[in-house]
Amino acid sequence: MSTRAPVDYIQRTREQYDALGYPAYEWVHNESPPPFAELEKPLKQCKVGLIASGGIYTRGQIAFHYKDDFSYREIPTDIETSALRATHFAYDLTDARRDPNVVFPIDTLRQCVTDGLIGSLADVAYTFMGGIYSVRKVETLLAPALAERVVKDEVDVVLLVPV
């Protein structure tokens, strides 16, 4: 068991943005919590989707480019992990480039299917580069587009992996 202290991600993000010379990151504060949605069936019968903000893309796709890039990439969930790439302006990419699963846990999810912990994986996962300053663009463009995609994919539950 690890004895390392938990990571204070808010403080770490502030320090990284300061080091990069960016203005202080403005955290979004929701006025009310999102509604709780109870699963309608056991997780072992659910189709699971994956959305991650670590800047993962595949060999052959265009990399994410700038801090307010609110585009997303479709990643086939049967892709070889070696074909995954990572780019992001706000975190050290060393570990993600060595093993994309640290920010995009595709191999872990595939093992969960094999182990019978989840029913299946959606055919496609979605990624984007976090650290988007424009809350308006996330609220009006990115989030609705991703929500529309996972509804179309008929997933029962989505694992959101923030960076």
For the segment 2-20, what is each residue's pLDDT rounded down to a tens digit?
567 777 767 877 787 788 7
pLDDT recorded at residue 35: 84
pLDDT recorded at residue 30: 77
Q: What is the mean pLDDT of the segment spanning 96-105?
A: 95
How does strand 47-52 pair with strand 120-121? parallel
Locate tokens 């072992």: which residue?
Answer: 44
Is the pLDDT confidence value at 86 over 90?
yes
Q: How far, in Å, CA of 41 to CA of 79, rounded?
A: 28
